[in-house]
A and B are shown apart, each in its own frame.
Chain A
Amino acid sequence: MTAFLQQLLNGLSLGSIYALVALGYTMVYGVLRLINFAHGDVYMLGAFAGYYASKLLHGRLNGGLPEAAVILVVSMIACALVGMLIERLAYRPVRRASRLTLLIVAIGVSLLIENLAQIFFGADPKFFPQILPERMFEWRGVLFTNQQILVLATAVLLMAALTLFIRRTRTGKAMRAVAHNPDAARLMGINVNSIISLTFALGSALAAAGGILVSLNQPSIDPLMGLMTGIKAFVAAVLGGIGSIPGAVLGGLILGLAETFVAGYGSSTYRDAIAFFILIIILLCKPEGLLGKGQVEKV
């Protein structure tokens, strides 16, 4: 039982990272019907933005939660800008082109970011500063760390904020309207380009948060760290139903739990394989995903 609770906690903590990154895939897909393959790389840029921010800050804030919070915010803002830039420079010019063109552009952007990162940051892994020294707690035999709590709390907070924004605010509703029918949204006076820009900004900021939260735990960061996480978060988004925001959260949590339990009870060799196994199963049995609505009707 203790072992089970332990795995559950670890799985939720990992899954909430996948969920944060998966949200960006699903939101962008919602408004553009585009798989933004560069999204995993934005997650990587988030980690590096945090790395450089903490170097600049060091000495001014002496570690601890305040410094972590500042780094998180700086990195989220930086990546929001990067996301908007990617949309503006790479995707907007080809928005009306065929799906194949979009796909190739997306892969191109991803490769470009990875290679630029290797040039500017260096290909070797860097050591993310240990702002929050790990502390262990124990509750009825279940061990948890302050970092796991931070990951869970931050992820829940960000997802709650996103949900409130999308459900309650005028701009959030406009985002849903654009996802359903951009032409009709234009007729309401909604500037669809701004909404798409904002969608990239929000999705990228969430990916950056994921990058920072992971790096606080696993301090080795490198320019290709976004590859595997990007693919897994994409699987999470497909599993939940791409385009569905609750779906992305659910898919992320399921994937995190599945990985942790497979590694814990089976063999950690299969840890990375489980995502692909899930992807194959879902594409065969329920291609629209757990909470997906199937093909959205376009008028």
Chain B
Amino acid sequence: MLSLRNLSCRYGAVQALTDVHLDVHPGEVVTLIGANGAGKSTALKSVAGLVHPQSGDIVFEGRSILRRQAHKIAAMGIALVPEGRAIFANLTVLENLEMGGYLRTRTQIRDGLEEAFALFPRLRERIRQSAGTLSGGEQQMLAIGRALMARPRLLLLDEPSLGIAPLLVKAIYAGIDAINRTGTTVLVVEQNAHLALRHSHRAYVLETGRIVTEAPSAELADDPRVREAYLGEG
């Protein structure tokens, strides 16, 4: 469904990604784990069209999306929940969700709202509130709900657990599982490898811009090297 081929990306002199290969098949939850600065966000931003890699290719459903503008990639069925959530703090919760459905019709938006509220009931209680007043966890729920309003076939999540109270992290990952069960393909980036490996089918490990390991998540969780480097054990 999504394929990163030989992808290399630089910011000026900083090489963020080098020859990255990564595949996501329909229906999967794939995770990309790696330390801070490994290049995880760059990989997702490249797919979403927010940064433009220098070489390699990104293929989505058989078509290259490498040089496409971000709003056109969104229209193709890819939604990114960015790191730090990037909700529209000056809009209400409802307006944020409406923006998620920017390319959809009124009725589709109405149905989408119901689905978002079913997934994260807290959002319904806060619907008229300015989104800037939500807690971090609630903002993350809003950011995910907003991305789902577009009915993406591929959902990209950038560190959804970052800086969020443990109880809400559970709710958010339960939500991600539920989203995947409805048929949405998910690529999730995490520093928190424990969490990511428990909630995914396959995993890639990124180290300073290079993919060093690829394996089923359950297998990787038992790998001594991974345990040592990313699970704080060994």
Contacts and interface: CB of A to CB of B under 8 A. Distances in A.
23 contacts: A173-B91, A173-B99, A176-B90, A176-B91, A176-B95, A177-B99, A180-B88, A183-B70, A183-B82, A183-B86, A184-B88, A186-B50, A186-B69, A186-B74, A187-B48, A187-B79, A188-B99, A188-B100, A188-B102, A188-B103, A189-B71, A190-B99, A297-B89
A18 B193 CA distance: 57
Interface string A177-212: 101110111111111100000000000000000000
Given A186-B49, A188-B74, A170 B90 contact: no
Contacts of B74: 186-189
Interface in A148-191: 170, 173-174, 176-177, 179-181, 183-191
Nearest to B100: A188
A122 to B, nearest CB: 44
B102 A186 contact: no
Interface of A: 170, 173-174, 176-177, 179-181, 183-192, 297, 299
B71 A181 contact: no
6 closest cross-chain pairs (CB), A and B: A186-B70, A189-B74, A184-B86, A189-B103, A299-B86, A188-B102
Interface string B113-151: 000000000000000000000000000000000110010
B88 A177 contact: yes
A187 B85 contact: no
A187 B69 CA distance: 10
A190 B89 contact: no
A181 B86 contact: yes
B88 A181 contact: yes
Contacts of B99: 173-174, 177, 185, 188, 190
B84 interface: yes
B102 to A, nearest CB: 5
A186 B98 CA distance: 14
B90 A180 contact: yes
Contact of B102 (A179, A189, A297): A189
A174 B102 contact: yes
A188 B152 CA distance: 11
B165 interface: no
A273 B3 CA distance: 64
Contacts of B50: 183, 186-187
Interface string B45-79: 00011100000000000000000011100110001
B147 to A, nearest CB: 8
A180 B131 CA distance: 12
A20 B103 CA distance: 31
Contacts of A181: 86, 88
Given A183-B50, A190-B99, A177 B71 contact: no
Contacts of A173: 91, 95, 98-99
Contacts of B147: 187
A187 B82 contact: yes
A188 B85 CA distance: 13
A93 B111 CA distance: 40
B218 to A, nearest CB: 32
Contacts of B70: 183, 186-187
A188 B98 CA distance: 10
Contacts of A177: 88, 91, 99
Nearest to B79: A187
Contacts of B150: 188-189
A180 B98 CA distance: 15
Given A173-B98, A187-B86, 17 more contacts: A170-B98, A173-B99, A179-B90, A183-B50, A184-B82, A185-B88, A186-B50, A186-B69, A187-B48, A187-B79, A187-B80, A188-B100, A188-B150, A189-B103, A190-B99, A192-B71, A299-B86
